[in-house]
């Protein structure tokens, strides 16, 4: 059984409570930065919030659907390495996400993600290292 603390900590690793971190974004509040959107998207993967992920994905690169209910990924943690605002409407966020697939050993995904701001911040694409 998870501890009470584990149930209120935000999955994005911010050390804030979920209710004051990513939950407001998951309920429709706009992200104030590309990093905030990236953290909320990571939390959405942890929580299997497919609709949120699709809604925050730029239409030019968004897939038609996701199937997180059937994945076997357990997300273990997120480390944001940097956020770089490259123009008033673009930014990149570099991060490392740790995860396990099934019962395998932990893996890491090192990605530099691109974001664009139109009426809100949107994830565009990412390059993994």
- Give the count of domains, the chain: 1
**CATH assignment at residue 66:** 3.10.450.50
7 has a pLDDT exceeding 60: no
Give the separation between CA 104 and CA 82, rounded to whole angstroms.
28
Contact, 128 vs 110, CB < 8 A? yes
Burial annotation 81-113 (CB, 10 A radius, 16+ → b, else e): eebeeeeeeebbbbbebebeeeeeeeeeeebbb
Give tens-digit pLDDT for 43-59.
Answer: 999 999 999 999 999 99
pLDDT at 70: 83
Point out which residues pair with 127 in neighbouring strands: 112
Give dist(CA 26, CA 15) in Å, integer.
17
Check pLDDT > 80 for residue 5: no
């Amino acid at each position: 059984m998870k501890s009470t603390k584990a149930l209120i900590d935000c999955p994005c690793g911010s050390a804030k409570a979920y209710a004051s971190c990513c939950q407001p974004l998951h309920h429709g509040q706009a992200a104030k930065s590309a990093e905030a959107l990236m953290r909320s998207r990571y939390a959405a993967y942890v929580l299997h919030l497919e609709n949120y992920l699709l809604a925050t994905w730029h239409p030019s690169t968004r897939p038609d659907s996701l199937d997180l209910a059937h994945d076997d990924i357990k997300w273990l943690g997120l480390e944001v390495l940097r956020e770089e605002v490259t123009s008033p409407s673009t930014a990149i966020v570099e991060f490392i996400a740790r995860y396990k697939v099934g019962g395998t050993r932990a893996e890491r995904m090192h990605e530099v993600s691109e974001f664009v701001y139109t009426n809100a911040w949107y994830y565009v694409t990412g390059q993994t290292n």
